[in-house]
Structures are given as structure tokens and as C-alpha cells.
Amino acid sequence: MVFRSKDKKFSVEIVLPIRMEMEAYASVAYRQETGGILIGNYDQGQSLASIKQITGPTSDSRGSFSWFERGTRGLKKLLDENWERGFYYLGEWHFHPFNSPTPSGQDIQQMQDIAKSTIYKCPEPILIIIGGSEEHFQLRAFVSIGSKKLIELYAANTDYDDNLVQQS
């Protein structure tokens, strides 16, 4: 499945096994938020990000029904190993249990912080949010650009709506 911005400047590819892995983590978490990082690479034109791997929550992650704080234990080693294979940090994913996959103010702020951080080296991080429950998961994709906005990326076969999510 490919998600694309209205202007086609940003695209992200999520293959079915990766989506199923995210949904499996969400199913296990049930009523708790959970998440992890996205690892992959870009095409030669830098317009299509391909997610090749995700992580689940690290052992030092914390969460509840309405919030999630991703830990970092083991991620540096994993990212170093992937860097040698040509894959790197692309962004974050997380689960909103029994809720819509709409970014919260905290989600937006986190993505802006990541975009500005020299540690992440990811000026346009991707955010994937899964919402709902095991009976019906919904997935939305975003890219953080600029100082106060997320751009929604739409499934390539859908119509475009207003694709700007502003922080209030």
C-alpha cells in the first residue's frame, strides 16, 4: 500500500506484512497505546520512503489507554546494524486503542521535535497511526514538515481531502 501527499512530493510504502505486524502489536496491547519506530530507505529521487522493518515497544517503553512514551533500549544497536545495510530511521508508529488514528497535539509536537533534532537526522519524519480495535483497524500516515504542521498522506487509490493538520 502506498500513501501519497496531495502534491505527490511525499510518499510512503507500507507492505502488507509490515501493516500486519503493527496490527499484531496493537492486538496484543488491546487497551494500551503501543508503538515503535519505522526503519527503511528512500528511492533514488527521495520521494518514496519504503518501510522495511518496524519495532514494537522497547522494554523501557511506557503507556496507558491514552498515552505512549516510546523507550530507547536497544534501538541504537538496531539502527547501527540497519545503517550498514542501507536502512535507517524513518519515523514513528503507534496505536490509539478504540479511537481514531488522528494525531494528538502531543503526536504533532513529538514529530516537530524529531524533525528539528540533530540526534535523529530525520528532517521529514513519518508518523503512522493505527486506530480502532482488532475488529476494525484504521491506518493513517503523515509526514512532518515545516514548523507547525503534519501533511497527511492518502492511500494512492483514494480522493484527497484537506491534508494539513495544524497544531493549535
Query: Tens of pLDDT along 112-152?
Result: 989 988 888 888 999 999 999 989 999 999 999 865 688 99
| pLDDT tier for residue 47 given thresholds of 50, 70 and 90 | confident
Average pLDDT over residues 2-27: 94
Q: How far apart are CA 84 and CA 94, in angstroms?
A: 26
Q: Is the pLDDT of residue 49 over 80?
A: yes
pLDDT-derived band at 167 (thresholds 50, 70, 90) equals very low
How many structural domains is the chain composed of? Answer: 1
Q: Are 111 and 144 in contact (CB under 8 A)?
A: yes
How does pLDDT run across 53-110, given as a tens digit for each residue? 999 999 998 988 888 889 889 999 999 999 999 999 999 999 999 999 999 988 998 9
Give residue 68's domain range. 2-166
**Could you give the angle at the alpha carbon of 4 between the alpha carbons of 145 and 56, nearest 5°?**
75
Report, as residue numbers or ranges, the catalytic residues. Answer: 33
Alpha-carbon dihedral angle through residues 21, 65, 146, 125, given to the nearest 10 degrees: -20
Q: For residue range 151-164, list pLDDT tens digits in order.
A: 999 998 655 444 44
Phi, psi of 115 (to 5 degrees): -60, -35
What CATH code is carried by the domain that includes residue 76?
A: 3.40.140.10
Q: With 0.75 as the threshold, say if the pTM is over it.
A: yes
